[in-house]
């Protein structure tokens, strides 16, 4: 209850609504798809073995992965915006997702050729993606730490440069890949949850849940950092510790998410702003709301990608970019007027 004492009644109501929307989206995503599963048969226990198999081994882990990836992208965007005090900070825009993707592609193209059987196995890609995202976030932090609130343009330019470098690396690795690797990489880089398996998503669920709990614990400190680092220190905030916790938590979440879902853009940018618009900038509310809304949007985007061109599947990254790009343009114009 200590966490909720900083929330206003209206913010608690919004969080409850967002939670209900996420649950409804979860149920719809389990039921509908290229192979529909009747609810009444499931509830009555008359589902066929094929329906149970699809639900438990294919659609179940996929939908659960979308929930956690959406939550990770949403809360990471909100936390990074608060840490950098920059409304345009986003794991995709500032190059974090591209860095994670570069690490993941390295592990895909060179699977244990350099590091022979050393107990990494299927976890080589998530670990490599996590390292890639961590390197990019640390680089961005050190390059922008001397700039004030007026350094938004500089922040974006650094992010563009990092994105470009990571894209070059991904392009070179894609060029030397085999035909079978190329097709999988092309689809994966546009965002896909098709490879979800219980053995892979359980560690990701643990990493994202732990990282979210750390971020929520530091939400009040993020509020104080908005006053400026020097003022936050005077109020007793260990700014260096907050930066380390937020950076590492975002790195682990984005690395784990990108390793299994590929690059999914704009969720980390759009979601925090929507939550902020409807309920205010309080980070205690903002972080929780961004996680809930990110989950709901990601589940609905994945459901759309599965049913819009049945029986084929549309990359989920295209659906989120179609939503996020117009919102980003609106945000830039809004900042220009302010």
pLDDT tens-digit series, residues 240-283: 888 888 888 888 888 888 888 888 878 888 899 889 989 888 99
Which residue, 7, 5, 1, is CA-closest to 287? 7
pLDDT tens readout for residues 310-335? 777 888 888 888 777 787 777 777 76
CA distance 94 to 163: 7
pLDDT tens readout for residues 105-144? 888 787 654 544 444 566 777 778 888 888 887 787 777 6
Burial class (CB in 10 A: 0-12, 13-18, 19+), 149: exposed
Ranges of each domain in the chain: 3-337
282: Cα within 13 Å, side-chain hemisphere: 17
CA distance 286 to 300: 21
At 95 the pLDDT is 78
CA distance 332 to 338: 10
For the chain, the average pLDDT equals 82
pLDDT tens readout for residues 44-92? 677 778 878 888 888 889 999 999 999 999 999 999 888 888 777 778 7
- CB < 8 Å & 24+ apart, contacts of 154-163: 155/84, 155/86, 155/88, 155/89, 155/94, 156/88, 156/93, 156/94, 158/94, 158/95, 159/93, 159/94, 159/95, 160/95, 161/95, 162/94, 162/95, 162/98, 162/99, 162/136, 163/93, 163/94, 163/95, 163/98
At 338 the pLDDT is 60
128: Cα within 13 Å, side-chain hemisphere: 22
% of the chain exceeding 70 in pLDDT: 87
Question: Average pLDDT in the 9-37 region?
Answer: 89
At 152 the pLDDT is 54
| pLDDT above 60 for 175 | yes
At 117 the pLDDT is 46
Considering the four listed CATH numbers 1.10.10.10, 1.10.3470.10, 1.20.120.450, 1.20.1250.20, the one that applies to the domain covering 3-337 is 1.10.3470.10
């Amino acid at each position: 209850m200590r966490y909720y004492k900083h929330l206003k009644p209206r913010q608690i109501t919004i969080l409850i609504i967002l939670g209900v929307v996420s649950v409804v989206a979860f149920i719809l995503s389990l039921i509908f798809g290229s192979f529909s599963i009747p609810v009444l048969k499931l509830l009555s226990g008359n589902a066929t073995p094929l329906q149970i198999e699809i639900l438990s081994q294919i659609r179940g882990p996929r939908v659960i992965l979308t929930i956690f990836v959406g939550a990770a992208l949403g809360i990471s965007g909100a936390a990074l915006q608060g840490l950098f005090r920059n409304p345009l900070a986003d794991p995709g825009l500032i190059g974090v997702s591209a860095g994670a993707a570069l690490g993941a592609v390295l592990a895909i193209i060179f699977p244990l050729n350099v590091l022979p059987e050393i107990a990494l196995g299927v976890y080589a890609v998530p670990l490599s993606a996590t390292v890639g995202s961590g390197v990019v976030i640390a680089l961005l932090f050190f390059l922008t730490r001397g700039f004030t609130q007026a350094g938004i343009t500089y922040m974006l330019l650094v992010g563009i440069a990092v994105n470009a470098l990571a894209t070059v690396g991904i392009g070179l690795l894609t060029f030397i890949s085999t035909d079978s690797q190329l097709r999988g990489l092309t689809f994966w880089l546009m965002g896909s949850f098709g490879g979800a398996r219980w053995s892979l998503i359980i560690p990701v669920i643990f990493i994202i849940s732990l990282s979210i709990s750390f971020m929520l614990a530091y939400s009040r400190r993020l509020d104080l950092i908005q006053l400026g680092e020097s003022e936050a220190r005077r109020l007793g905030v260990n700014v260096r510790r907050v930066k380390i916790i937020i950076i590492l938590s975002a790195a682990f979440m984005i690395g784990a998410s990108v390793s299994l879902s590929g690059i999914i853009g704009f969720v980390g940018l759009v979601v925090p702003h929507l939550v902020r618009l409807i309920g205010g900038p309080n980070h205690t509310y903002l972080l929780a709301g961004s996680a809930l809304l990110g989950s709901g949007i990601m589940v609905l985007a994945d459901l759309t990608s599965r049913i819009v061109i049945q029986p084929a599947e549309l990359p989920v990254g295209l659906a989120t970019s179609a939503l996020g790009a117009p919102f980003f343009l609106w945000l830039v114009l809004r900042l220009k007027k302010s």
